[in-house]
């Protein structure tokens, strides 16, 4: 894959077509699936190429990297999603810079985000991150803890942020059947939460990346987070 304008445009067209086909196979409307181009560690030139190809929804994983790029892109069409683990001491950077946070995993973080959202006068939509595989190296709530956490979140009456669904990152190195079971489990968890706490708070499922987004779509994903399949391999980061 190349990172020229024509290369990124071809990659986006290919991904969009695969999304359309996966949606059609699942008897779903392709318009119900939001393609998030993961621009983690990509340069402003990469993002500009994607924007020129009609992409306006982007995902960033680290606050430090994102803050070097977001000020360069003030187009109101753009929608920025924070999809990486967020430390509470960096929460102040999210409201006002991002429309969505996919990785809510504590009430402390929720309260901090709400406070900063109120201070900036901006609204933040959040998803609860679920450690669906139980991997001790991954962030997120255990599936059994999600409904109780969501109930506590909603009872807290936090203004400035609102709950819209669930997100997960699947386990590494598993086969297609195991991956599908993870996505089914997240969907079923979202359905159970919606039945208990209200469907308005569980409209979104963020699951699926470059290697498995078609499976995710077949199991109900409303957001897919795709980086390599659009931008190619990530540049090396030197510390």
Q: Tell me if the domain spanning 5-231 has CATH number 3.40.50.170.
A: no
- Using only C-alpha atoms, the chain has a radius of gyration, in whole angstroms, of 17
Using the structure block, give the residue that is written with the tokens 């957001």.
223
pTM higher than 0.75 for the full model? yes
DSSP code per residue over 193-206? HHHHH-GGG--EEE
Residue ranges in the chain whose pLDDT is less than 50: 1-2, 238-239
The β-bridge partners of 161 are 124
Residue 233, pLDDT score: 81
Q: CB–CB of 128/149 below 8 Å?
A: yes
Q: Which residues fall within 8 angstroms of residue 100, CB to CB, at 6 or more apart?
A: 79, 80, 81, 82, 124, 125, 126, 127
Residue 235, pLDDT score: 67
Dist. CA 172–CA 93, nearest whole Å? 30
The β-bridge partners of 100 are 81, 125
Domain boundaries along the sequence of the chain: 5-231
Q: CB–CB of 22/214 below 8 Å?
A: yes
**pLDDT (tens digit, 9 = 90+) per residue, 209-239?**
999 999 999 999 999 999 999 998 876 554 3
Dist. CA 109–CA 107, nearest whole Å? 5
């Amino acid at each position: 894959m190349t990172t020229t304008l024509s290369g990124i445009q071809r990659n986006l067209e290919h991904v969009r077509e695969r999304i359309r086909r996966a949606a059609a196979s699942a008897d779903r409307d392709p318009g119900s699936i939001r393609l998030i181009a993961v621009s983690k560690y990509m340069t402003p030139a990469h993002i500009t190429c994607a924007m020129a190809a009609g992409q306006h929804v982007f995902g960033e994983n680290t606050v430090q990297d994102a803050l070097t790029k977001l000020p360069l892109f003030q187009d109101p069409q753009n929608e920025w999603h924070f999809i990486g683990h967020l430390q509470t001491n960096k929460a102040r950077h999210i409201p006002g810079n991002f429309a969505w946070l996919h990785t809510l995993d504590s009430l402390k973080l929720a309260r901090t985000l709400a406070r900063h959202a109120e201070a900036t006068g901006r609204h933040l939509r959040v998803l609860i991150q679920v450690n669906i595989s139980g991997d001790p190296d991954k962030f997120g709530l255990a599936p059994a803890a999600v409904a109780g956490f969501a109930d506590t979140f909603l009872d807290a009456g936090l203004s400035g942020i609102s709950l819209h669904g669930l997100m997960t990152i699947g386990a590494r190195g598993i086969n297609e059947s195991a991956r599908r079971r993870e996505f089914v489990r997240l969907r079923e968890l979202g359905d159970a939460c919606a039945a208990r706490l209200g469907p308005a708070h569980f409209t979104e499922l963020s699951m699926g990346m470059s290697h498995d987004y078609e499976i995710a779509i077949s199991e109900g994903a409303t957001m897919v987070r795709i980086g390599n399949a659009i931008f190619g391999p990530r540049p090396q980061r030197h510390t």
